[in-house]
Amino acid sequence: MSRSRQFANPGLALTAPVFYVLLALSLKDRHGYEILKYVEANSEGRVRLGPGTLYTTLKRMLDAELLVELADPPDPADDDARRRYYRLSRQGRAALGGELARMEQALQLAGGRRVRRSK
């Protein structure tokens, strides 16, 4: 199954980079470097995206129509011609909602159980 097609299947978990990119864009439109910094900060450093991984992920997400690239920057005063800005699409919002529901269900299932930690 291609990575782009994977996003269309609501039963499959999203990868951590895709999840955090969707989360970043659910709050506001952002450019690539801003997404990269958001992901690192909000994953508490657990997910670190290099530029290659970030832009490959963004390309796949664009192909899957989870986000759109904006023609104009959200704030013209903050424009830099080298920056590309992204916005979450309706499909991206649905994918994020599905992933959050899946996570919530997993937490509820695990809520009353003790999980053994590996040594």
Residue 24, domain CATH:
1.10.10.10
Residue 106 within a domain: no
> How many domains in the chain?
1
pLDDT tens profile 81-90:
778 999 999 9
Q: What is the pLDDT of residue 116?
A: 66
Q: What is the pLDDT of residue 10?
A: 58
Residue 113 within a domain: no
Q: List the domain range (segments joined by +) for residue 70.
A: 3-100
CA separation, residue 58 to residues 26, 61, 87, 88, 93 (Å): 14, 5, 11, 11, 15
Are 73 and 79 in contact by the 8 Å Cβ rule? The answer is yes
Residue 112 within a domain: no
With a pLDDT cut of 90, the percent of the chain lying above it is 55
Residue 111 within a domain: no
Residue 15 within a domain: yes
